[in-house]
Copies of this chain bind each other. A is one copy, B any other.
Amino acid sequence: MKVRYTNDIAVIGSGRFGQSVVDQLLKLGKTITLIDKDEENLRSYKEDIENLIIGDAADIKLLKANKLDKIGTIVVAVPENIEIVAALLEIKAQNIIARATSIRHARVLRQIGVETIVSPEYETGKRTALIAANKSFVRYSENLQEIGDDFVIGTTVIQNKSLDNKVLKDIDFNKRGVTLVLIKSKGKSIRPNGLSKIHHNDIVTLIGEIADVNAAFEWLNQND
């Protein structure tokens, strides 16, 4: 039987970050190959993952023997990974998503040819700094992302009772420099248009520049 791997995903490394990637992929119903040097780390996945490989992912023989060159996407989740990525590029692996631990590390990965780079510490650090630095974010938003330049997307609960049952076109978020991009009302999310209504306790997602989103949060959370 010839096995085709092209839609499969391999994850290299099962530390905290690798585990988180694997857990999410399992939720998405994906078939996973998981590689780790340490048998102990793999033990908890014995039930859920058929293809567990113990070994050094910088070893080209191991990669070829396990057909990593045929796998659709490979996530390199270990922090010290330049040699592993080099080995994967050597066997002409397809889409590689590699973890970078710093801007310098990301630069090296990009130079050797990795296109998709993720960085848990850097990405969440940026987000955490934004939350820490802006009063209404720390008070009202648990969900805030920078999306380039000074733009952020953030989520808050509407506390301001004067906004209850208002139609969006009558509120004009636009003049406050923000766009309302998602409304979650009674557990259901919708992409709003001008005729959508918002209610007290709805969760709304806004996009705009940092200062404008910050100010809009203050306003949405006013309660007398």
Contacts and interface: CB of A to CB of B under 8 A. Distances in A.
A204 to B, nearest CB: 11
Interface stretch (A44-52, A59-67, A83-91, A146-154): A146-154
Interface stretch (A35-43, A115-123, A156-164, A216-224): A115-123
Does more than half of chain A's interface fall in helix, strand or loop, or is it mixed?
mixed
Interface residues of A, number: 65
Interface string A131-151: 111000011001101011101
A143 B133 contact: no
Contacts of A21: 125, 128-129, 132
Given A75-B128, A121-B17, A153 B151 contact: no
A19 B184 CA distance: 35
Given A143-B147, A145-B145, A147-B205, A125 B129 contact: no
Nearest to A135: B72
A69 B160 CA distance: 30
B147 A153 contact: yes
Contact of A20 (B95, B99, B121): B121
A9 B133 CA distance: 8
Contacts of A208: 191
Interface of A: 9, 16-21, 23-25, 27-28, 30, 73, 75, 77, 95, 97, 99, 101-102, 115-133, 138-139, 142-143, 145, 147-149, 151, 153, 155, 174, 177-179, 181-182, 184, 189, 191, 193, 203, 205, 207-208
